C-alpha cells in the first residue's frame, strides 16, 4: 500500500547482475537501497552476484544478509576461478541471468536515490533496449580525457560516457551474443549494437562522490587502456601521424641536401647522410607499425568470438 493505493507490480522477470570485488563495506547499504525497490515493484526477480576473487568476506556477508533478511528472490553467487576483471566477470553473470530485463551494477557504490532504478525501467519501456543511469556529479580528469579521446577516435557512431548502472533488454543481450560471446567492453558494444539506447542523468547526493570513490579505479584504468586497442583507431592514427612527421623530415632532408649541392656549401661531413638515413629509417619503422596495427585490429575482431572467462562454481544462496 502507498497512500491508500495498491501498487500494481510489474510482471516482467528482472535480473540484477552485481559485480563484487572486495565490496564488503558497501554491500549492505547497496542491498538495502536496491532490494526494497525491486520487492515493491516487481512480482519476480533474481540476484546474480559475481564474486571476482574477493578477499574481505564479501560472500560471507552476502549469505548472512540473505538469511537475516529472508529474501524471497533467487540469489545466485557466481564464483570466478580467480580474479579476471570487471568485464569478464560481468559477462559471466549476464550469461547466467534469465530475466526479461537485466540490471547491470558494475559498481555497488550508491550515490543515487532509489527512485532512479525505476526511472531507468520506465524509460526502457518507452522503447529503448539499453538505458543507463549517469551522475551529473564531477568526473575525474582522467575520465574526461578518456571519454573525449575515445569518442573522437571510436570506429562506431555511438558516443559513450560515465555510467553508474544500466538496464538491458533480453533482445539487446541476444543481439550482443550473436555478435560474439566475449565482450571486452560492454558499454562500447551496447552503444554500437544498432538498438535504441538512452541515458538518464541524476543529481548525485554528493557532486564529488565519484572522484572520491576508489572501489574500481584500478580496474577501470586497465580497462580504458584495453578499450583504446579494441574499439578505437587511436594507435593507428598516432602511428600514422608519427610516420607522416618522419616522412616530412625525410623529404626536407632530401631538399636540404639538393640545395647544398647546388649552393656548393659544405656542412659537417656525414651529418646530412646520417640525418637523412635516420629520418628515412624511422619513417619505414612507423609505416610498418601502422600496417601491423591494422592487421592486429582484424585479429582482435576474430578473438571476440571466443569465450574468455572461467567460473569455478555457481552457489545458490537460500534462506534457512
Q: Can you give the pLDDT at residue 15?
A: 96
**Is the pLDDT reported for residue 31 higher than 90?**
yes
Q: Can you give the pLDDT at residue 300?
A: 60
pLDDT digits (tens, 9 = 90+) for 276-295: 677 777 777 777 776 776 66
pLDDT digits (tens, 9 = 90+) for 244-267: 777 787 777 777 777 776 776 666
The secondary structure element, H or E, covering residue 301 is: helix 271-303
- Is residue 80 situated within a structural domain? yes
Residue 58 to residue 22: CA distance in whole angstroms: 6
If asked whether residues 119 and 260 sit together in one domain, one would say no
Among residues 131, 117, 112, 122, the alpha carbon closest in space to that of 202 is found at 112
165-169 and 14-20 strand pairing: unpaired
Q: Which carries the bigger pLDDT value, residue 305 or residue 114?
A: 114
Q: Average per-residue pLDDT in the chain? A: 80
Mean pLDDT for 6-12 is 81
**Is the pLDDT reported for residue 24 higher than 80?**
yes
pLDDT digits (tens, 9 = 90+) for 75-89: 999 999 888 888 889
If asked whether residues 202 and 286 sit together in one domain, one would say no
As a whole number of Å, the CA-based R_g of the chain is 26
Mean pLDDT for 93-122 is 94
If asked whether residues 120 and 243 sit together in one domain, one would say no
- Is residue 2 situated within a structural domain? no
If asked whether residues 155 and 289 sit together in one domain, one would say no
If asked whether residues 127 and 243 sit together in one domain, one would say no
- Is residue 4 situated within a structural domain? no
If asked whether residues 239 and 227 sit together in one domain, one would say no
If asked whether residues 154 and 104 sit together in one domain, one would say yes
Q: How confident is the model at residue 185 (pLDDT cuts 50, 70, 90)?
A: confident
Helices (H), the chain: 24-41, 58-69, 86-96, 115-125, 141-153, 170-179, 186-191, 209-212, 217-231, 234-263, 271-303
Q: Can you give the pLDDT at residue 122?
A: 96
Q: Can you give the pLDDT at residue 216?
A: 53
Share above pLDDT 70 across residues of the chain, in percent, rounded to a whole number: 74
- Is residue 7 situated within a structural domain? no
Print the domain residue range for 49: 14-232+310-317
If asked whether residues 223 and 256 sit together in one domain, one would say no
Mean pLDDT for 52-66 is 91
If asked whether residues 248 and 136 sit together in one domain, one would say no
Chain position carrying cell 539506447: 197
Helix (H/G/I), strand (E/B), else coil: 86: helix
Mean pLDDT for 211-217 is 56
Q: Mean pLDDT lowest for which of 33-37, 122-126, 195-199, 271-275?
A: 271-275
If asked whether residues 224 and 248 sit together in one domain, one would say no
**Structural domains counted in the chain:** 2
**Is the pLDDT reported for residue 153 higher than 80?**
no
Q: Which carries the bigger pLDDT value, residue 238 or residue 79?
A: 79
If asked whether residues 125 and 139 sit together in one domain, one would say yes
Q: How confident is the model at residue 1 (pLDDT cuts 50, 70, 90)?
A: very low
Q: How confident is the model at residue 220 (pLDDT cuts 50, 70, 90)?
A: low
SS (HEC) of 180-197: CCCCCCHHHHHHCCCCCE
**Is the pLDDT reported for residue 159 higher than 70?**
yes
Mean pLDDT for 172-191 is 78
Q: Mean pLDDT lowest for which of 41-50, 88-97, 123-132, 206-215?
A: 206-215
Instruction: Return the C-alpha cell found at 19.
Output: 559485480
Q: Can you give the pLDDT at residue 69?
A: 86
* pTM for this prediction: 0.74
Residue 157 to residue 174: CA distance in whole angstroms: 21
Q: How confident is the model at residue 2 (pLDDT cuts 50, 70, 90)?
A: very low
Residue 169 to residue 151: CA distance in whole angstroms: 24
Amino acid at each position: 500500500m502507498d497512500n491508500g493505493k495498491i501498487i500494481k507490480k510489474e510482471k516482467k522477470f528482472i535480473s540484477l547482475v552485481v559485480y563484487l570485488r572486495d565490496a564488503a563495506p558497501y554491500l549492505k547499504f547497496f542491498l538495502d537501497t536496491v532490494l526494497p525497490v525491486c520487492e515493491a515493484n516487481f512480482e519476480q526477480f533474481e540476484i546474480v552476484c559475481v564474486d571476482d576473487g574477493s578477499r574481505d568476506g564479501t560472500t560471507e556477508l552476502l549469505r548472512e544478509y540473505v538469511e537475516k533478511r529472508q529474501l524471497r528472490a533467487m540469489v545466485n553467487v557466481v564464483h570466478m576461478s580467480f580474479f579476471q576483471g570487471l568485464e569478464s566477470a560481468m559477462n559471466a553473470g549476464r550469461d547466467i541471468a534469465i530475466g526479461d530485463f537485466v540490471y547491470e551494477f558494475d559498481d555497488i557504490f550508491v550515490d543515487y536515490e532509489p527512485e532512479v532504478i525505476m526511472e531507468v525501467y520506465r524509460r526502457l519501456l518507452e522503447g529503448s533496449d539499453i538505458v543507463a543511469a549517469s551522475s551529473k556529479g564531477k568526473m575525474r580528469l582522467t575520465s574526461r580525457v578518456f571519454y573525449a579521446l575515445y569518442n573522437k577516435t571510436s570506429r562506431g557512431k555511438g558516443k559513450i560516457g560515465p555510467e553508474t548502472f544500466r538496464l538491458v533488454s533480453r533482445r539487446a543481450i541476444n543481439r550482443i551474443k550473436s555478435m560474439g560471446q566475449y565482450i571486452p567492453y560492454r558499454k562500447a558494444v551496447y552503444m554500437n549494437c544498432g538498438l535504441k539506447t538512452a541515458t538518464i542523468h541524476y543529481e548525485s547526493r554528493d557532486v564529488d562522490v565519484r572522484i572520491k570513490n576508489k572501489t574500481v579505479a584500478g580496474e577501470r584504468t586497465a580497462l580504458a587502456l584495453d578499450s583504446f586497442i579494441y574499439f578505437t583507431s587511436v594507435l593507428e592514427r598516432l602511428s600514422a601521424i608519427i610516420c607522416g612527421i618522419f616522412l616530412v623530415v625525410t623529404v626536407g632532408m632530401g631538399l636540404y641536401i639538393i640545395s647544398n649541392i647546388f649552393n656548393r656549401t659544405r656542412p659537417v661531413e656525414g651529418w646530412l647522410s646520417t640525418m637523412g638515413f635516420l629520418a628515412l629509417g624511422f619513417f619505414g619503422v612507423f609505416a610498418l607499425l601502422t600496417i601491423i596495427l591494422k592487421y592486429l585490429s582484424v585479429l582482435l575482431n576474430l578473438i571476440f568470438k571466443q569465450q574468455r572467462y572461467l567460473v569455478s562454481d555457481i552457489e545458490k544462496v537460500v534462506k534457512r
